[in-house]
Amino acid sequence: MGFHLSAQLVRYAIVGVLGVFIGGAGGVFAAALIPDANGVIQGCYDNKTGALRVVDSAANCLKNQVPISWNERGVAGATGATGATGATGAVGRGLTSLNDLNGLPCGTTNSGTSRVVYGSGGAVSLFCDDSTPPTVTDARVLNNVGSTDFAEPDDAFFLTFSEEMNGNTAGTINVVDQDGTTATVRCSIDAACTWNTARTTLTVTLTSPLSNDAGTTPGLQIPMLVTAFGNLTDTAGNAPDVLGSQDRLIDYE
Ligand SMILES: [Ca+2]
Ligand SMILES: [Ca+2]
Ligand SMILES: [Ca+2]
């Protein structure tokens, strides 16, 4: 029993010694924290002498000393103003259906327009349609019989286009001469209109006298300027760009 009590005492003694060591170490550790864990340096300022001493706690200041503290780090600056909102980005093309392909640019120079066509049995065809209008590259009188006016059967001219046309033989061609006389040549009615094999050149030969609206000088004199087309398009259905044509003057060159 005596030995047991002694053992207990020994244990208390060990714990006590450890406590002293830990406490001492804590004291040393605390004294070493200048600045403290928050980065604050504590000091005591002597009112009379102006002396300043650094301590590990304001509690160490004497009665005639004013505790003073300062941070090592400066105070964080205010948050900057929010920047202006950036411009909205372009909307992505985002295909969500095969039909969204309709209208998209296509072709080697992106001059065409995509078109989706559905067939029987679930078949789908994709076309790249030409969206560039044709132009007239050459316009000339081919034959002029009877009067010098463009008026009688067998008077003829031809027009060459910049690309393959629809080959329509029942279109119309509006013309005006230099004094303002206008006429509409109606293929299959007033004239026979034929295409070359490539369907790029249209030959127009009057088959009956051509009526006209009188200008300053009666009759449709040569040269005549083409002003419009009806039902004459390229194979994609684009009407000719009359004003943008190189040569729309029906003359002898
Ligand atoms: Ca010409
Ligand atoms: Ca004539
Ligand atoms: Ca005239």
Kindly report, residue by residue over 107-153, the tens digit of the pLDDT.
888 888 999 999 999 999 999 988 899 999 999 999 999 999 999 99
- Pair 151, 244 in one domain: yes
Ligand 3 centroid – CA 223 distance (Å): 10
Ligand 1 centroid – CA 58 distance (Å): 106
- Encode the chain in three state secondary structure: CHHHHHHHHHHHHHHHHHHHHHHHHHHHHHHCCCCCCCCEEEEEEECCCCCEEEECCHHHCCCCEEEEEEECCCCCCCCCCCCCCCCCCCCCCCCCCHHHHCCCEECCCCCEEEEEEECHHHCEEEEEEECCCCCEEEEEEEECCCCCCCCCCCCEEEEEECCCECCCCCCEEEEEECCCCEEEEEECCCEEEEECCCCCEEEEEECCCCCCECCCCCCCCCCEEEEEEECCCECCCCCCCCCCCCCCEEECC
- Pair 121, 20 in one domain: no
Ligand 3 centroid – CA 228 distance (Å): 18
Instruction: Give the environment of ion ligand 3: residues with CB less than 5 A.
Output: 177, 179, 181, 215, 217, 221
Query: Residue 11 domain-assigned?
Result: no
Ligand 3 centroid – CA 40 distance (Å): 105
Query: Residue 41 domain-assigned?
Result: yes
Kindly report, residue by residue over 143-171, the tens digit of the pLDDT.
999 999 999 999 999 999 999 999 999 99
- Pair 118, 147 in one domain: no
* Structural domain containing residue 104: 98-130
Q: What is the pTM of this model?
A: 0.57
Ligand 3 centroid – CA 126 distance (Å): 49
- Pair 66, 172 in one domain: no
Kindly report, residue by residue over 89-105, the tens digit of the pLDDT.
888 778 889 999 999 99
